[in-house]
Structure formats: structure tokens, C-alpha cells
């Protein structure tokens, strides 16, 4: 195994979040499942946007958020994702590269615009996402830089990539390239509704033995395994993957590696404003710790610290100095 | 005088803010005057953006922020400004109209993109703005809806409009139309560097007797009058305009109408995050109170409450329910 150039290479949908405050009655009137991500087409994006209040545009996308977290924690991060050659694409590229993240996927000169997610945040800080995938769904196998994959210690993929067909093929190829180079592959289930859509595919991927680390939250792991409660779901899933990391919101997080199970509590937060990106930043903290050779309990705490920061403000990218925050809290 | 359709019609540069945290050393390295607004061209916008950290895109523009504040306080607001037919222009239009603000200026199908301001926020919450005017400078006299001006109780204009030639002409025309219809005209000096650029023009406008209300902050009123201290500057300026409103940051604000001078303290703020929009929202509160027939001291307090809200978070548009906030604090 040769030296690595990157600690974590993240592949995901390149999405600009359009974040607006709303209330429960708006979600009810629109028939939206609170806390879920749904895919919408261009017409629905235009219609819903027209009904939403004023927005803040902040770069997002699950794996992109994780790459931002890794970079802000001092890790060497890369990102692969498809944007269009438009203003939102420029914003996305700027925000990723200004953090020192390697992002070399060329923009597409297409009629299909850069992806955006209409993120509706209720007063309880829950986010309900309505994603128009746009150019993101046009990420192809050809856009992969296989040498970059080979030179990355960990390849990290979002479950959302399973939705659009072309990125799914790119993801499958990236996994094969990473494994052939002796690298680790990490995967997140992303969203329980996404698990509902792709349960068979996700289970087949896990049982193919090609994943080293699986990230999930409580709802996702229960949905994936079909078990009746959390402990049974963790037991069932952890038997099928070398390292399982499950987040539990205010109840903290659990990592299971073989027979070894460790847990950490959630980090304190003064006020939870917007939970968008909590799981993404948890993964960033854990993966950075893991890449640094830290133990699972320290890596979990790094995840919890990063997640606590991102839920304290609007937007799914950290605003505080994450590296300093982790140094201070880990002591 | 016929009935009005709008309480306040705001004309200004239609600008999307790109807000990034920075530090004093970055401002020093770039040779930027902290707290000021400078105009930049497309090449400089690209260069500086490439050096900035990740941004949040939030609709801004001084008079646009004021229109947002008026609408959120329950006033009937209108906005006139030029955007291009591009993604940032769509964002701008959405954010204005979703607040119920009348905004009928057609987008321009031009090669010149929608304006953006690169807003650098230092840890002391000061904002340093680098504005690429883009399409905003192409607002023409022809884009004015003169009937809309005649049906608005107050016409409100930003001093920044004096910088680009075409909008300046549109502003002059709007003032004439408003006065001929018996409406009030309000004007803000915007920025002390803007006063430096246009002192003669601003003084001539004030002394033409066409302004009813003049807004300024301490630095602007001192710069305009050339007086050596604040009290002398207020005395000199208030003799030249029916109603003068001057904001003093943490020292509150003053209104002088003829012989009557009233003052209010600043409203308490838990933590000041980003002072962008403080003056704009102060004007929104004052103008809404004025349009409602409130006394100058109540209108000043409404301004102080709205300003306190907007400096407590990133972005120059209110996030809280301003109307409820004012009702609660005024008692």
C-alpha cells in the first residue's frame, strides 16, 4: 500500500441548500414528512420555492458537508460531485475549495442547473428537505479520478447516491477501485426514507463485504434491518460489517467493532437551531479521528463535538473553528 | 392627495450578499477599510471571492433590507431595483416577493449578472463590503412605475444610488414624481465613504428642499457637514431638513424635527454577530412608525428594536417576527 494523499475522499450529490424558516402548518398543508428528504423535479422545485419564505443559500449535500468537516478538523479531504456551469455551481465550487478540499470534478455545461435542496426548518430545529438533483444526478463513472480514489485512505459515500442511476454506478466503481488499492470504504444510510426506497440494494451492498464502516442513525438502522427495536437492530447490523457507527440524537452515539461496543453521550448545545448536517458532521468527526488512528471512543467524541457545532446555527457547514473546539473539549 | 397603496416605496441597488467570516489580518493584507463599502469590478470580485472563505448567500442591498423590515413590521412595502435574469436574480426576487413586498421591476436579460456584495465579517461583528454592482447599475428612469411612486406615502432612497449614473437619474425622477403627488421623500446617506465621494451632490440634494426625512449615522453626518463633532454636525444638518434621524450604534439614536429633539438608547442584544443591515433596519422601524402616525420617539424605538434583531445574526434581513418583537417591547 503506497502513501495516501487524502485522508477522506467523499463522493456525493453536490447541492446548494436554500434554507427557510417555516412552521408545522406549512408542512401539513404541503403534506411533507417532517425530518425526511424527498426528491422533487424542476416544476415542483419552482412551485414550492414560490410558496416558501426568504432563504439563505449555503452549500450543502451530505458528503460535501462531511468533506467540509474533515477539512475544518485538519484532515486532508477530497470531494467528488457534479455541478453545472452556473452561479450556484460557482458558489458550490468556491465553498468547497476555499476550505482546502480537493475538488476536481469538472462542471457540466448543460441545460440542467446545479442541484438545490429547499430546506424547511421548523421551530423545533427539524429540517425537511426537498431536493431537486439537477446536475448532481449526471455524475458519471467517467468523471471519477481513479488515481485520486487509490490515494485516499478512506472512501466515503452517501446513501443518497443510490437514488440517481449514474452516480450509483460511479459509486460502485469507486468502491471497487478503493478496495483493489487496499483502502477503506465507509458508507452512510443517509435517511430512513432513502433506506425504504433502496433496502434491498443497501443490504446487498453491506453483505457483499465491500464496506468497512457503516454509518446510520436509529431510524435508518431499524428500517434497514427490519428489527423491532434499536438494540436488536444494532446487534443484527454489527454482525454484518466490521465497524458500525450509529448516532442517536440527544442520546449520543454508539460504535460496534466486532465484540467491542463503545458509547458516548451527546455534546451539550446552548440552543439547537437547525439539525441539518448533524449526521454529516458526526461522520466527519469520526472519520477524521479514525484516519488519525484514534480509538473508536475518541473518534465518536470528535463526531459528537462536530455535530453539536453544526446544529447550533442555520446551515450544514461548520462556522466555528472545529479543530480548536475538538482540541479544547478533548483536553 | 389620494389614498396610498404603499406605506414605503424603497429604491435601491438589488444586491445578493455573500457573507463570510474573516479576521483583521485578512482585511489588512487586502488593504480594506473596516466597516466601509467599496465598489469593485467583475475581475476584482472574482479575485477577492477566490481568496474568501465559504459564504452564505442572503439577499441584501440597503433599501431592499429596509423594504423587508417594513413588510415584516406589517407595513405595505414596495421595492424598485434591477436584477438580471439569472440564478441570483431569481433568489433576490423570491426573497423580496415572498415577504409580500411589491416588486415589479422586470429582470434584465443581459450579459451583466445580478449584483453581489462580498461581505467580510470580523469577530468584532463589523462588516466590510465589496460590491460588484452588475445589473443594479442598469436601473433606468424607464423602469420606474410612476403611478406606484405617486401611490406611496413615503419614497425612500439609499445614498448608494448616487454611485451609478443611471439609477441616480431614476432616483431624481422618482423624487420629483413623489413631491408632485404630495408624498414624503426620505433619504439615507448610506456610508461615510459614499458621502466622501458625493458630498457636493448630497449637499445640493438636501439644500434643494426636496427631502422630508434624512437618515445618517455619526460618521456620515460629520462627513457631510464638515463639522468637528457630533452635536455641531446634528445642529448644522437639522437646520437644513424637516426631520433628521441619526443613529449612534450602541449610543442609541436621535431625531430632530425643527426645535424638537428626541433620543432613545440602543436596545439590548445578547450577542452582536454581524452589524450588516443595522442602519437599514433602523430606517425600516422608524419609517413604519412614521407611516403609522407614531411620534418620533416611538418611531425611534421601533427602529432600535428592528436594528437590534438584525445584528444578532448573519445577514441583513430580519429572522425573528419583528412585528411581535415590537409589540412586546413597546408594551
Percent of chain A's residues with pLDDT above 70? 99
Write the pLDDT tens digit of every residue in A270-308.
999 999 999 999 999 999 999 999 999 999 999 999 999
Cα distances (angstroms) measured from residue A60 to each of A111, A191, B125, B212, B235: 21, 15, 25, 46, 51
Nearest to B87 among A55, A59, A88 (CB): A88
**Residue of B215, B170, B224 whose CA lies nearest to B197:** B224
Q: Does residue A192 register a pLDDT over 70?
A: yes
Q: Which of A276, A227, A282 is nearest to A251 (CA)?
A: A282
ipTM: 0.94
Element (H, E) at A279: helix A278-291
Q: Return d(Cα A254, Cα A266) in angstroms, integer.
A: 11
CATH code for the domain defined by A6-330: 3.40.1190.20
d(CA B280, CA A263) in angstroms, rounded, equals 49
- Report whether pLDDT(A110) > 80: no
Q: What is the pLDDT of residue B2?
A: 65
Query: Are A278 and A237 within 8 A, CB to CB?
Result: no
Contact B94 A56 (CB under 8 A): no
Instruction: Single out the residue of A27, A102, A71, A5 nearest to residue A280, CA to CA.
Output: A71
Q: Could A57 and B53 be called an inter-chain contact, meaning their C-beta atoms sit closer than 8 Å?
A: no
In angstroms, rounded to a whole number, what is the distance separating the alpha carbons of residues B81 and B89? 11
Asked if the Cβ–Cβ distance from A87 to B53 is below 8 Å, we say: no
Structure-block grid coordinates of residue B143: 423602469
Residues forming beta bridges with residue A158, ordered by sequence position: A188
pLDDT tens digits, one per residue of A6-61: 999 999 999 999 999 999 999 999 999 999 999 999 999 999 999 999 999 999 99
pTM of the entire predicted model: 0.95
Contact A266, A222 (CB under 8 A): no
Residue A103: per-residue pLDDT: 98
Residue of A56, A93, A274 to mutate, testing the B interface (most B Cβ within 10 Å of its Cβ) = A56
Q: Cβ neighbours of residue B225 under 8 Å, at least 6 residues apart? A: B232, B233, B236, B237
What does the alpha-carbon distance between residue B177 and residue A218 come to, in Å, rounded to a whole number? Answer: 63
Q: Measured between alpha carbons, how far is B316 from A283 in angstroms, rounded to an integer?
A: 32
Domain B6-14+61-111+135-330 has CATH 3.40.1190.20: yes
**Considering only CA atoms, which of B158, B221, B214 is closest in space to residue B192?**
B221
Which residues, 6 or more positions from A278, have their beta carbon under 8 angstroms from its beta carbon? A247, A249, A307, A310, A311
Mean pLDDT of chain A: 96
Residue in B closest to A96 by C-alpha:
B54
DSSP bridge pairs for A19: A56, A119
Q: Report domain extents, chain B.
A: 6-14+61-111+135-330
CA distance B14 to chain A (A): 15
Beginning with the edge strand found earlier in the chain, give each strand of the sheet holding A37-39 in spatial order. Answer: A37-39, A127-132, A115-121, A15-21, A56-59, B56-59, B15-21, B115-121, B127-132, B37-39
Interface test with B, best of A14, A51, A87 (most B CBs within 10 A): A87
Residue whose grid cell is 461615510:
B192
Residue pair A131/A119 in contact by the 8 Å Cβ criterion: no
Strands A56-59 and B56-59: antiparallel
pLDDT string in tens for chain B (331-residue length): 568 999 999 999 999 999 999 999 999 999 999 999 999 999 999 999 999 999 999 999 999 999 999 999 999 999 999 999 999 999 999 999 999 999 999 999 978 999 999 999 999 999 999 999 999 999 999 999 999 999 999 999 999 999 999 999 999 999 999 999 999 999 999 999 999 999 999 999 999 999 999 999 999 999 999 999 999 999 999 999 999 999 999 999 999 999 999 999 999 999 999 999 999 999 999 999 999 999 999 999 999 999 999 999 999 999 999 999 999 999 8
CA distance B25 to B34: 11
**How far is the alpha carbon of B111 from chain A, nearest alpha carbon, in Å?**
13
Nearest to B98 among A52, A88, A98 (CB): A52
C-alpha distances in Å from residue A269, one per residue of A137, A179, A216, A258, A274: 35, 38, 22, 32, 12
Residues of A at the B interface (Cβ-Cβ below 8 Å)?
A: 18, 21, 49-50, 52-59, 68, 86-88, 91, 94-95, 98-99, 113, 315, 317, 319
Mark A253-279 as b/e (b = at least 16 C-beta within 10 Å).
bbbbbeeeebebebbeeeebbbbbbbb
Say what angle helices A296-310 and A278-291 make with each other, to 10 degrees. 150
Under 8 Å CB pairs connecting chains A and B tally to 58
With beta carbons less than 8 A apart as the criterion, state whether B301 and B264 touch: yes
Q: Average pLDDT for residues A109-132, to the nearest whole number?
A: 95
The pLDDT, as a whole number, for residue B331 is 84
* Residue of chain A whose alpha carbon sits nearest to that of B320: A21
The confidence score (pLDDT) of residue B251 equals 96
* A146 close to A181: Cβ distance less than 8 angstroms: no
Q: Determine the Cα–Cα distance for residues B25 and A115; give it in Å rounded to an integer.
A: 35
Using CB atoms, pick whichever of A56, A94, A99 lies closest to residue B49. A94
The pLDDT-based confidence of A3 (bands split at 50, 70, 90) is: confident
DSSP annotation of A262 reads: E
C-alpha cell at A315: 446551515
B chain contacts of residue A53, beta-carbon cutoff 8 Å:
98-99
- Answer yes or no: do B54 and A59 touch at CB < 8 A: yes
Residues 6+ apart with CB under 8 A from B304: B252, B253, B264, B265, B266, B267, B282, B285
pLDDT at A116: 98
Residues of B with CB below 8 A from A19's CB? none
Tell me if A248 sits within 8 A of A229, measured CB to CB. Answer: no
- Cβ atoms of A247 and A282 within 8 Å: the answer is yes
Q: Which residues of B touch A55 (CB under 8 A)?
A: 91, 94-95
Q: Per the structure block, which three cell numbers stand in for B262?
A: 428626541
Measured between alpha carbons, how far is A44 from A329 in angstroms, rounded to an integer? 44
B interface with A, Cβ–Cβ < 8 A, is 18, 21, 49-50, 52-59, 68, 86-88, 91, 94-95, 98-99, 113, 315, 317, 319
C-alpha A77/C-alpha A64 separation (Å) is: 10
CB B148 within 8 A of CB B91: no
CB atoms within 10 A of CB B210: 14
Distant-in-sequence, close-in-space partners of B186: CB < 8 Å, separation ≥ 6: B154, B155, B156, B157, B211, B212, B213, B214, B215, B283, B287
Amino acid A1: pLDDT: 52
The pLDDT of residue A52 is 96
Reported as a single tens digit per residue, the pLDDT across A219-247 is 999 999 999 999 999 999 999 999 999 99
What pLDDT score was predicted for residue A307? 98
Name the residue facing A86 among B21, B50, B87 (closest C-beta): B87
Beta partners for residue A256, in sequence order = A244, A261
Strand, helix or coil at A167?
helix
Contact A317 B54 (CB under 8 A): yes
Would you give the end-to-end CA distance of chain A in angstroms? 33
Distance separating alpha carbons of residues B164 and B12, to the nearest angstrom: 11
Amino acid at each position: 500500500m503506497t502513501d495516501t494523499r487524502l485522508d477522506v475522499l467523499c463522493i456525493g450529490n453536490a447541492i446548494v441548500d436554500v434554507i427557510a424558516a417555516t412552521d408545522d402548518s406549512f408542512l401539513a398543508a404541503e403534506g411533507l414528512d417532517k425530518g425526511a428528504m424527498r426528491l422533487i423535479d424542476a416544476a415542483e422545485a419552482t412551485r414550492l420555492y414560490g410558496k416558501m419564505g426568504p432563504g439563505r443559500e449555503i452549500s450543502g449535500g451530505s458528503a460535501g458537508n462531511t468533506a467540509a468537516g474533515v477539512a475544518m478538523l485538519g484532515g486532508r479531504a477530497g470531494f467528488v460531485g457534479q455541478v453545472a456551469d452556473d452561479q450556484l455551481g460557482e458558489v458550490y465550487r468556491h465553498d468547497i475549495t476555499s476550505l482546502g478540499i480537493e475538488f476536481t470534478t469538472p462542471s457540466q455545461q448543460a441545460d440542467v442547473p446545479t442541484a438545490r435542496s429547499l430546506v424547511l426548518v421548523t421551530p423545533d430545529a427539524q429540517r425537511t428537505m426537498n431536493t431537486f438533483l439537477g446536475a448532481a444526478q449526471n455524475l458519471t463513472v467517467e468523471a471519477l479520478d481513479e488515481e485520486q480514489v487509490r490515494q485516499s485512505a478512506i472512501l466515503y459515500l452517501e446513501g443518497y447516491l443510490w437514488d440517481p442511476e449514474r452516480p450509483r454506478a460511479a459509486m460502485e466503481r469507486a468502491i471497487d477501485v478503493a478496495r483493489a488499492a487496499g483502502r477503506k470504504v465507509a458508507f452512510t444510510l443517509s435517511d430512513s426514507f432513502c433506506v425504504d426506497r433502496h433496502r434491498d440494494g443497501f443490504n446487498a451492498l453491506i453483505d457483499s463485504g465491500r464496506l468497512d464502516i457503516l454509518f446510520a442513525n436509529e431510524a435508518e438502522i431499524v428500517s434497514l434491518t427490519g428489527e423491532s427495536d434499536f438494540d436488536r437492530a444494532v446487534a443484527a447490523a454489527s454482525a454484518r460489517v466490521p465497524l458500525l457507527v450509529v448516532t442517536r440524537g440527544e442520546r449520543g452515539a454508539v460504535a460496534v467493532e466486532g465484540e467491542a461496543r463503545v458509547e458516548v453521550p451527546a455534546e451539550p448545545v446552548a440552543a439547537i437551531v437547525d439539525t441539518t448536517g448533524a449526521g454529516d458532521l458526526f461522520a466527519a468527526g469520526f472519520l477524521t479521528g479514525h484516519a488519525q488512528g484514534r480509538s473508536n471512543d475518541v473518534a465518536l467524541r470528535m463526531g459528537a463535538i462536530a455535530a453539536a457545532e453544526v446544529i447550533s446555527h442555520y446551515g450544514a457547514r461548520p462556522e466555528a473553528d472545529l479543530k480548536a473546539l475538538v482540541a479544547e473539549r478533548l483536553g
